[in-house]
Chain A
Amino acid sequence: MSDAKPETAVGTAAHDLLPESRKRLMRDALAIAAYALPVGLVYGLLTLQAHFSLVEVVVSCVVVLAGGAQFAAAGLVKDRAPWAAIAGVTLLVNARHLLYSAAIAPYTAERSWRERAVMAHFLTDETFALSLAHFRRIGRFDARGYWLGALVILIPWTLGSAIGYLAAGAVDTTRLGLDVAFPAAMAGLSLGMVSGRRDVAAAAGAVLVSVPVGLTAGASIGLVAGAVIGPLIGLAMPERRSPPADAPESKDATERAAEEGLP
């Protein structure tokens, strides 16, 4: 994407901050790339167990570009769940992107409709966290910064998945315990999104609902029941009191969760 259009001013534009902020963005982006690659390896392994072809793995990484939902889909495909259930889980898992997009929107308001439409496809947890922090530092939109934040997850995630798929084909995955990687990754990802006691209650509630419902009505129904009812249990939890007005400004919960999440 070109930088030819005028940048959108949000807050105080400070051009001299741009090089320093881009350097910091680059450092943060490299750290994200360093973990996206190995997590991609785990995803590649799971897709192998779910009988994806290599083409399907690569296409899912590029087209869906949403790690949590992709992990979930691989498990559901393996269990021969109906596609409607996979679509429902994808909607739920990725609904948080509404909040990311809303937070980025003021910075992109002056960009062309087409550019915003393309940018939206790449709005992963990491791209959001990297680019929003960058925009806040410089006080405006920076196309180069956004695309760096997007590519730094797309490339290692896709590459890692393909390598994981090919490498796992050469080993006995059950004997090596690799079949536990999927539920472990799901549990770890869930914890990575937790940023308060409401999140804990939602996750714990989802577990407490999904297991007994799964035992009586089948695993897919248990999963959907847990995913739908868990957040209601979280909502029933009283919110933590707001910090005092003179407390130091802290990061928004959405941004914090995004920094700790996956593509």
Chain B
Amino acid sequence: MIAADPSLNLGLSLGLIPLAFLMWLCTYPSRALPMLAPGIERLPQWAVAYLRLAGPASLAALAAVNCLLTSDSTPRLLIGIEPVAVGLCVLVVARTRLLFPAVLAAVVLVAVARAFGAG
């Protein structure tokens, strides 16, 4: 359990810092434009509705791709404890609206399943 992860990188690798700034460039305008240029937020109603739906849709797609597909170059459908654990997480969030205990429950389920050779 205490096997140190070789990916721990306490050095000064900076290769992903430009990515952080790229992400900032993709985030800041939507935070700033309506505050800095009043009136720009008066988008058509359908556009506002689309933007509101883009958040949950993007995150759901991310969850699905990461728990239902293998990470090979030619992905296959993943059958295992992971999709069940993600389903458990969704259930806990739906009941409690709290993310951390939900993620914890999913992690514990997978850890227990793997400990018994079922993961």
Chain B proximity mask over A70-102: 1 for CB below 8 Å, otherwise 0: 111101010100010011011111111111111
Residues in A whose Cβ lies below 8 Å from that of B8 = 48, 165-166, 168-169
Q: How far is the CA of A216 from the CA of B10 in the complex (A)?
A: 38
Please list the residues of chain B having a beta carbon within 8 angstroms of any beta carbon in chain A: 1-5, 7-17, 19-28, 30-36, 38, 41, 43, 46, 48-69, 71, 73, 75-77, 82, 85-86, 89-90, 92-94, 97-100, 102-103, 106-114, 119
Is A190 a contact partner of B56 (Cβ separation < 8 A)? Answer: yes
Please list the residues of chain A having a beta carbon within 8 angstroms of any beta carbon in chain B: 35, 38-39, 42, 48-49, 51-56, 59-60, 63-66, 68-73, 75, 77, 79, 83, 86-87, 89-102, 104-105, 108-109, 113, 116-117, 119-121, 123, 165-166, 168-194, 198-199, 202-207, 209-211, 214-215, 218-219, 222-223, 225-227, 230-232, 234-235, 253-254, 257, 260-262
Q: How far is the CA of A253 from the CA of B48 in the complex (A)?
A: 12
Q: How far is the CA of A42 from the CA of B75 in the complex (A)?
A: 25
Is B34 a contact partner of A109 (Cβ separation < 8 A)? Answer: no
Residues in A whose Cβ lies below 8 Å from that of B114 = 174-175, 177
| Secondary structure of the B contact surface, majority rule | helix
B53 is contacted by which of A68, A187, A230, A261 (Cβ under 8 Å)?
Answer: A230
Residues in B whose Cβ lies below 8 Å from that of A102 = 34, 41
Q: Which has the most chain B C-beta neighbours within 10 Å: A63, A176, A180? A: A180
Q: How far is the CA of A217 from the CA of B27 in the complex (A)?
A: 28
Q: How far is the CA of A97 from the CA of B25 in the complex (A)?
A: 13
9 A–B contact pairs at CB < 8 A? A42-B100, A69-B27, A105-B35, A113-B36, A120-B35, A176-B107, A180-B106, A219-B75, A223-B61
Is A175 a contact partner of B1 (Cβ separation < 8 A)? Answer: yes
